[in-house]
A and B are shown apart, each in its own frame.
Chain A
Amino acid sequence: MQLLPLLASLAGGLLIGAAALALLALSGRVAGVSGIIGGLLPPRRGDLDWRLAYLVGMLGGGLLLNAWVGLPTTVPVSRTALIVSGLLVGFGTRLGNGCTSGHGVCGLGRGSPRSFAAVVTFMGVAFVTVFVTRHILGGI
């Protein structure tokens, strides 16, 4: 195991936690990306600007990353898999009230039993999904 990627992952994780904590301390809000997007579909009056600002901030961070180190441009699966995956991620995170950030970082960080159950479920199912697609189906 190389040390540099390991330290980068740890530092990235600390930064993610700090940013989510800052939103809680400053605005009192949960930094759950699926919830922040989902709250715009449909948009509600008086609840629009901070959501848009957060998402624009994320895109701005993406632009900086792309300029500094480059962002990945390909996903190593077929287009059909990408579409099915996107639909499931979108519908599933809304039905389950959260994704890796809302349940994973903020929910686990607050010791929420619902988030713990959600994280165990989505990680477990994701492990099984990758096992099936890679080692039983031989790639999608």
Chain B
Amino acid sequence: MRSILIAFGCGLVFALGLGLSGLVDPARVLAFLDLTGDWEPNLMLVLGGAVAVYALGARQVLTWPRPWDGLRFQLPTRRSLDQRLLLGAALFGVGWGLAGLCPGPALVDLAAGSADIVLFVTAMLSGMALFSVFNRFAPER
């Protein structure tokens, strides 16, 4: 029960942060990505602020023997760069640049139930499901 409440609370505050930051508005994200147009630099502060807080806190937290509610920290262990990482990031970059939506903000925007967002999230979940099928035939080594 505790782990459910923690996840729920963290997801909720994360969503409020996305809302406050402006990242939930695809028009503003596209303006941020439009370097040669009417560029909106504010969103750089979102990533900068978030990374700064996380970096300072994680340095402390990761010296703990275990998380407050859990047996161990579950962090990615792979270190090397590979084709899947870079190709995946590039495909994501094209998608992000096309509509100005990434998974977190899209999910938050879903709460308004608009047709555009429902269409995007449906396509996004389909893309993820397609990957699951693809990954069954060409699993990561």
The answer to whether B12 touches A57, judged by C-beta atoms less than 8 angstroms apart, is yes
Task: Give the complex CA separation of A99 and B72 in angstroms.
Answer: 23
The chain B residues found within 8 Å of chain A, CB to CB, are 3-27, 30, 33-37, 41-43, 45-55, 57-58, 61-62, 64, 66-76, 78-81, 84-104, 106-112, 114, 116-117, 119-132, 134-135
The answer to whether B116 touches A73, judged by C-beta atoms less than 8 angstroms apart, is yes
Min CB distance A69 to B, Å, is: 7
Of listed A62, A94, A100, residue having the most chain B CB within 10 A: A62
Of listed A21, A41, A118, A126, residue having the most chain B CB within 10 A: A126
Task: Give the complex CA separation of A89 and B73 in angstroms.
Answer: 27
Task: Give the complex CA separation of A65 and B45 in angstroms.
Answer: 20
Given contacts A92-B89, A100-B102, A100-B104, contact A9 B53 (CB under 8 A): no
Of listed A8, A75, A77, A121, residue having the most chain B CB within 10 A: A75
Min CB distance B63 to A, Å, is: 11
The answer to whether A127 touches B33, judged by C-beta atoms less than 8 angstroms apart, is yes
Q: Contact partner of B73 among A24, A50, A100, CB < 8 A?
A: A24
- Can you add 17 more A-B contacts, CB < 8 Å, to A23-B6, A76-B30, A77-B99? A9-B45, A11-B21, A16-B14, A17-B17, A18-B53, A19-B11, A27-B69, A29-B70, A31-B14, A72-B114, A75-B101, A82-B119, A88-B127, A90-B129, A106-B58, A109-B51, A130-B97
The chain A residues found within 8 Å of chain B, CB to CB, are 1, 5-6, 8-31, 33-34, 37-38, 41-42, 49-51, 53-66, 69-77, 79, 81-97, 99-101, 103-114, 117-119, 121-131, 133-135, 140
Of listed A38, A55, A61, A118, residue having the most chain B CB within 10 A: A61
The answer to whether A33 touches B128, judged by C-beta atoms less than 8 angstroms apart, is no
The answer to whether B89 touches A21, judged by C-beta atoms less than 8 angstroms apart, is no
Q: Contact partner of B124 among A26, A75, A90, A101, CB < 8 A?
A: A90
Q: B132 — which chain A residues lie within 8 A by C-beta?
A: 38, 41-42, 94
Given contacts A17-B52, A22-B10, A56-B11, contact A126 B16 (CB under 8 A): no
Given contacts A66-B111, A76-B26, contact A96 B86 (CB under 8 A): yes
